[in-house]
Amino acid sequence: MINLEGKVALVTGASRGIGRADALTLARAGADVVVTDILLESDLESARRAERYGPLAQAMLATGHVYTERTAEEIRAMGRRSAAYRMDVTDPQQVREVFARVKEEFGGLHILVNNAGTLDHLGQLEDQKDELWQRDLQVNLTGAYNCCKAAWPIMKEQQDGRIVNMSSVAGTLGGFGQASYSTTKAGIIGLTKSLALEGARHGIRVNAVAPGIIGTEAFKMGTGHQERMIRRTAFRRLGEPEDVANAIAFLVSDLARYITGIVLHVSGGIELFTF
């Protein structure tokens, strides 16, 4: 029932995990999809870029979990148009250039999924690192702002836009040892609701998705408390990236044409009181 034919989508942070699943799911629903990330398989500077963004990006590169160009190839194999662009969401000029290129090469932009984010800054308040606090703000919150701002004039001109911002249950519940991450994901909710109000008169719908414990490559590589977190969910199991991607496909489809400004939990009931 979800038909996105004739729509152009852009997904940030789409080299793996939820972002990659988002891109592939939107393409299966009929959209042409632009795949962006700071890491590309063919980029000889990827190691340097990963070092700048911390241990998680470095680990994903070192273990071969970077599929930006491969994702675009898979989308083209479905008969859809696609391209893989390197884009740092913290660089407003680079973001504007990529969005201008998308408009020129694809004829417009109807769907934006702000998925790019950092997730590796853990520590109680006294152990939070100031430089990583700033990094998380720049990537998780300002990065989404930069992309929304670049997409806005294109979508206003079309009088047609659908934006999904990636929040988290950490943004609605808080997260022990996750002050910077939780703060940015709570900020995403405020950004989403404000832009939903502004966008409604221009045919732009803006919503947020709040995933819970999802079985991405990053989660599976972690150590420590995975089983404890899984038991905290009502379902007592992990979610899959496709569970989030399916929710996003709904939100950007015409089936959700009267929905804007919401936070949709895809969390297995982790926010419920379980025992």
Q: Which positions are annotated as active-site residues?
A: 181
Copy the structure tokens of residue 202.
């221009």
Is the distance from CB of 9 to CB of 34 less than 8 angstroms? yes
Number of residues that make up the chain: 275
Residue whose entry in the numeric block shows the structure tokens 């950007």: 252
Q: Residue 56 in 3-state DSSP?
A: helix
DSSP result, 30-48: T-EEEEEES--TT-TTHHH
Nearest-CA neighbor of 188 among 264, 120, 132, 258?
264
Closest CA to 94 of 86, 105, 102: 86
Q: How far is CA 59 from CA 56, 68, 79, 189, 270, in A?
A: 5, 16, 32, 29, 27
